[in-house]
């Protein structure tokens, strides 16, 4: 699946060359999961980013240059992510690699010499762990460690001292297993069980039986959305009323559609951007208004994140005054500061993640998601 907005163009990739002339488009390359295990989240993220760029380009772009988002579907497969990134870098000479999904996928791209040699910034990947890279990675979202710390504190304060963990078979799942053990050290809460789910499978009965035999008071979900939803459904048949805490890469809309409003009521979702459902911040109100203008789609946390990520990238490009070279963009992002509609963002040598926000949203009995 590809967006209909793929157009050709070239930008400069090396610091010693001069900026492109005004009027030439700036290309941004996004290789992400649109039809694989996390396709629902990937599509929402793209929607949020695209509506921001639609709004930007309607007002003249950056210094007269249109910003075009080139989107490719890797179906969640690492090999596809690398191959499509190589192709996109060669074809479009993008200013940034943007909004990539999945720690293993991003890690593979960062390790690819033909891509890394171009020095192109990786901006706002949908990744909760810090990945090693010769070139800095500029994250928007808080880390998975921050999410798990928040969930652990809430579980402990709620008297839930026996919890279990459900992870996917990917880097985020592996990291969650390490982080939750660290977060629980010294607390009264114990990790009493852990199971892994295959990202592309709905075979969850064995995992549900395993944890049901242990009977934890709460379960943390750190697996892809559909696998997590299938697990919750199976587990509720065995142990109804168990509390679930889902990490932020689980799409709450898809989860609710899978489970239904009543079953979803037992799931709390970690949120790393302001709520688009109760838009108390100016940036959330701006996003909801822009989405209504350019797309006939309901908002989501993932589309809100895509919107904020695109705005952060555009802010950094504007600092370059139309120079979209990787060197200039690295400079702008390395000292990024913004009050984005009441939400503070900051990047520097000691702060790799622009946002520190971690909140929990829960489904009401009527199916609304509230903070």
Structural domains of the chain ordered from first start: 26-142+279-346 (3.40.50.2300), 144-271 (3.40.50.2300)
**How many Cβ atoms from other residues are within 10 Å of residue 280's Cβ?**
10
162: its two tokens: 């026996």
pLDDT band, residue 17 (cuts 50/70/90): very low
The reported pLDDT for the residue numbered 2 is 37
pTM: 0.89
> Over 50: is that where the pLDDT of 239 sits?
yes
Which has more pLDDT, 72 or 170? 72
The reported pLDDT for the residue numbered 296 is 87
- Report the pLDDT averaged over residues 267-291: 94
- Report the pLDDT averaged over residues 14-33: 69
The reported pLDDT for the residue numbered 10 is 28
The reported pLDDT for the residue numbered 3 is 37
> Over 70: is that where the pLDDT of 5 sits?
no
Instruction: Give me the percent of the chain exceeding a pLDDT of 70.
Output: 94
The reported pLDDT for the residue numbered 146 is 92
Residues ≥6 apart with Cβ < 8 Å to 307? 48, 49, 51, 52, 287, 290, 291
Which has more pLDDT, 181 or 23? 181
> Over 50: is that where the pLDDT of 9 sits?
no
Which has more pLDDT, 289 or 201? 289
Residue 96 bridge partners (DSSP):
28
Q: 188 in helix, strand or coil?
A: coil
Q: pLDDT, tens digit, for every residue of 294-324?
A: 998 999 999 999 999 999 999 999 998 878 9
5: its two tokens: 């907005």
pLDDT band, residue 365 (cuts 50/70/90): confident
> Of 200, 11, 30, 177, which Cα lies nearest the Cα of 99?
30
The reported pLDDT for the residue numbered 50 is 98
The reported pLDDT for the residue numbered 19 is 40
Would you give the distance in Å from CA 173 to the centre of its chain? 14
Residue 220 bridge partners (DSSP):
165, 245
**How many Cβ atoms from other residues are within 10 Å of residue 63's Cβ?**
16
The reported pLDDT for the residue numbered 14 is 29
Q: Give the Cα separation of 213 and 12 in Å (integer).
A: 59
Element (H, E) at 246: strand 243-246
Instruction: Give me the percent of the chain exceeding a pLDDT of 90.
Output: 68
Q: pLDDT, tens digit, for every residue of 207-232?
A: 999 999 999 999 999 998 999 999 99
Helices 144-157, 171-184: axis angle to 10 degrees equals: 40
Phi then psi dihedrals of residue 353, to 5 deg: -120, 125
The reported pLDDT for the residue numbered 22 is 53
* Mean pLDDT comparison of 2-16, 340-354, 355-369, highest-scoring range: 340-354
- Report the pLDDT averaged over residues 127-146: 91
């Amino acid at each position: 699946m590809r967006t209909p907005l793929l157009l050709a163009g070239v930008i400069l990739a090396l610091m010693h060359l001069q900026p492109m002339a005004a009027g030439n488009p700036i290309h941004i390359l996004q290789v992400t999961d649109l039809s694989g295990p996390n396709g629902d989240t990937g599509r929402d993220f793209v929607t949020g980013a695209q509506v921001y760029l639609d709004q930007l380009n309607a007002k003249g772009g950056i210094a007269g240059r249109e910003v075009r988002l080139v989107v490719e579907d890797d179906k969640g497969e690492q090999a596809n992510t690398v191959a499509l990134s190589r192709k996109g870098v060669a074809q479009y000479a993008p200013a940034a690699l943007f909004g990539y999904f999945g720690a293993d996928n991003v890690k593979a791209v960062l390790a690819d010499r033909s891509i890394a040699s171009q020095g192109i910034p990786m901006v706002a990947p949908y990744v909760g762990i810090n990945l090693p890279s010769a070139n800095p990675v500029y994250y928007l979202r808080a880390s998975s460690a921050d999410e798990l710390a928040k969930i652990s504190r809430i579980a402990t304060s709620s008297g839930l001292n026996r919890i279990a963990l459900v992870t996917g078979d990917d880097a985020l799942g592996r990291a969650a297993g390490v982080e939750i053990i660290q977060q629980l050290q010294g607390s009264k809460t114990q990790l009493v069980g852990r199971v892994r789910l295959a990202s592309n499978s709905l075979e969850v009965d064995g995992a549900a039986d395993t944890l049901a035999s242990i009977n934890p008071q709460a379960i943390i979900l750190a697996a892809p959305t559909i696998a997590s939803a299938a697990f919750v459904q199976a587990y509720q048949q065995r142990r109804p009323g168990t509390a679930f805490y889902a990490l932020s890469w689980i799409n709450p809309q898809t989860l609710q559609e899978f489970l239904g409003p009543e079953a979803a009521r037992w799931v709390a979702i970690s949120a790393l951007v302001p709520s688009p459902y109760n838009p108390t911040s100016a940036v959330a109100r701006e996003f909801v208004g822009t989405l209504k203008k350019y797309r006939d789609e309901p908002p989501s946390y993932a589309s809100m994140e895509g919107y904020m990520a695109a705005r952060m990238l555009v802010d950094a490009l504007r600092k370059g005054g139309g120079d979209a070279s990787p060197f200039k963009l690295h400079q702008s992002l390395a000292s990024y500061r913004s009050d984005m509609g009441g939400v503070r963002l900051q990047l520097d040598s000691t702060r790799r993640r622009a946002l520190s926000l971690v909140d929990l949203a829960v489904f009401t009995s009527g199916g609304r998601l509230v903070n």
